Amino acid sequence: MDLQLKGRVAVVTGGSKGIGLAVVRTLVEEGAFVVAVSRGGSEGLGALEGPNLVHVAGDLMEEGFAEEVVARAVGAFGGLDVLVNNAGGPAGGVVLPRGAFLDGGDREWRTIFEFNLFAVLRLTRVALPYLMERGGSVVNVSSALARQPATNNYEYAAAKAALSHVAKGLAEEFGPRGVRVNTVSPGVVRTNWWTDEGGVADMFAGAMGVDRDTLLDETLPGMLRLSTGRFVEPQEIADAVVLLASPRSGSTNGSDFVVDGGLLKEM
């Protein structure tokens, strides 16, 4: 299926690995011009190097960086059609997963909200005038945790819930101005955060007395009652993101697509 993205200009945050890298790769394969934003490069991003890709390195929490990102997109490719707000997770020395409510304080909450909500809103605010010029779209990557409160990761889940909420309002305000705003909410995704040496999988595996592969392939899917029996792959999230970004989803606005392997059980 032709997603009608050839020649369109996209900004993707968190674009050097995991979900973001899969989104960048898919957009490039569809013929889009892509500005990948991340703190640093990666082997995977380097493999995509070419005339359709620009990498902008920096911290989305730094003042003025949002303006720099949009300026690079407009300067390199002449405009902006798609904004994918994918960057999220831990930042500023805050480690995820987080524990019980009393284990954290204001610093953790402020840092997580700054990265997962306010940095997203800042970049969106800068991008919207350009998106309105060309009838563009915004896709925010939220989380299944935005819908499912738990007794841990309070700050992250609350920030993602706020992001999903704001996206719905933006869709209502800017839909009549030609800009669609949608959300993708992943469940448990097999990213570097889990699989890197010394990462979360190793931490959980040690605590549970199993090896990393058993934990990822059997233990956690069973504990989380994933009806597919496995973690979500980054490409599966990217496919949903790129479809929502595409003109082929021209009547989809204000929606939240859950891609979670059956994690959420409620209606």
Residue 2: phi and psi, rounded to 5, are -75, 115
Joined together, the tokens standing for residue 153 give 């990761």
Residue 205 confidence (pLDDT): 81
pLDDT, tens digit (0-9, with 9 covering 90-100), for 25-41: 999 999 999 999 999 99
pTM score, two decimals? Answer: 0.96
DSSP string, 172-237: HHHGGGT-EEEEEEE-SB--HHHHSTTSHHHHHHHHHTS-HHHIIIIIHHHHTT-TTSSPBPHHHH
**C-beta separation of 145 from 159 below 8 A:** no
pLDDT at 267 over 80: no
Query: Which residues are identified as catalytic?
Result: 156
DSSP category for residue 248:
G
Residue 165: phi and psi, rounded to 5, are -65, -50
DSSP category for residue 36:
E
pLDDT at 94 over 90: no
- C-alpha dihedral over 43, 48, 54, 56, to 10 degrees? -20
Joined together, the tokens standing for residue 227 give 């009806």
Collapse the DSSP code of 114 into the 3-class scheme (helix H, G, I; strand E, B; otherwise coil) and give the result: helix
Q: Beta strand pairing status for 180-186 and 137-141?
A: parallel
Among 217, 237, 218, 46, which residue's Cα sits nearest to residue 143?
Answer: 237
pLDDT, tens digit (0-9, with 9 covering 90-100), for 60-75: 999 999 999 999 999 9
pLDDT, tens digit (0-9, with 9 covering 90-100), for 213-266: 998 999 999 999 999 999 999 999 999 999 999 999 999 999 999 999 999 998
Identify any residues that bridge with 37 across adjacent strands, giving them in sequence order: 13, 56
Joined together, the tokens standing for residue 84 give 């994918």
- The total of other beta-carbon atoms located within 10 Å of residue 75's CB is 10
Collapse the DSSP code of 15 into the 3-class scheme (helix H, G, I; strand E, B; otherwise coil) and give the result: coil
Query: CA-CA distance, 48 to 52, in Å (whole number)?
Result: 9
pLDDT at 189 over 80: yes
Domain topology for 9-189+233-259: Rossmann fold (3.40.50)
DSSP category for residue 101:
G
Q: What is the mean pLDDT of the chain?
A: 95
Q: Where do the structural domains in the chain lie, given as residue ranges? A: 9-189+233-259, 190-231
Residue 32: phi and psi, rounded to 5, are -80, 160
pLDDT at 83 over 80: yes
**C-beta separation of 123 from 66 below 8 A:** yes
**C-beta separation of 189 from 18 below 8 A:** yes
Residue 194 confidence (pLDDT): 86
- The total of other beta-carbon atoms located within 10 Å of residue 148's CB is 16
Angle CA 158–25–138, to nearest 5: 45
Proportion of the chain above pLDDT 70, given as a percent: 100
**C-beta separation of 37 from 71 below 8 A:** no
